[in-house]
Amino acid sequence: MSEDNISNNTQTITKDKVKRPSMYEVILLNDDYTPMEFVVDVLMRYFNKDIDQANQIMMHVHRNGKGLCGIYPFDIAETKVMQVMNYSIKNGHPLQCKMEKNK
Ligand code: TYC
């Protein structure tokens, strides 16, 4: 862990710098084949969205090419991407999901 050295008149105090964990965006990508209902199901099943939120996100992805599902620590984001990809493959859909570091 990085440290800051803060000097005052009599001594140097070494202070640990505490960093919050990096967060990662999980992003859904549009395609021409995955049914809209399946995308809504994915958003409710893996991202805890209600039906209205899921429909909004799905339509945003449909119109804009991509959309944000949620922001999580690395391991959670990675698990969600794997769950979505596995579920899509199992159901024969080409739906793609990726993660990006949230600066
Ligand atoms: N574009 C798809 C269709 O018209 C629907 C869709 C929405 C697919 C969002 C993927 O991430 C997606 N059936």
Grade residue 47 by pLDDT with cuts at 50, 70 and 90.
very high
Query: Would you state the pLDDT for residue 22?
Result: 95
Of ligand 1's listed atoms, the one at least distance from the Cα of 35 is 13
Backbone angles phi, psi at 77, to 5 degrees: -60, -45
Backbone angles phi, psi at 65, to 5 degrees: 100, -30
Query: Which tens digit of pLDDT belongs to each residue from 23-36?
Result: 999 999 999 999 99
Residue 6: pLDDT over 50? no
Of ligand 1's listed atoms, the one at least distance from the Cα of 62 is 7
Average pLDDT over every residue of 70-85: 98
Question: Could you tell me if the CB of 57 is within 6 A of ligand 1?
Answer: no
Query: Would you state the pLDDT for residue 8?
Result: 44
Residue of 28, 33, 36, 91 best suited for mutating to test ligand 1, as the one with most atoms within 8 Å of CB: 36
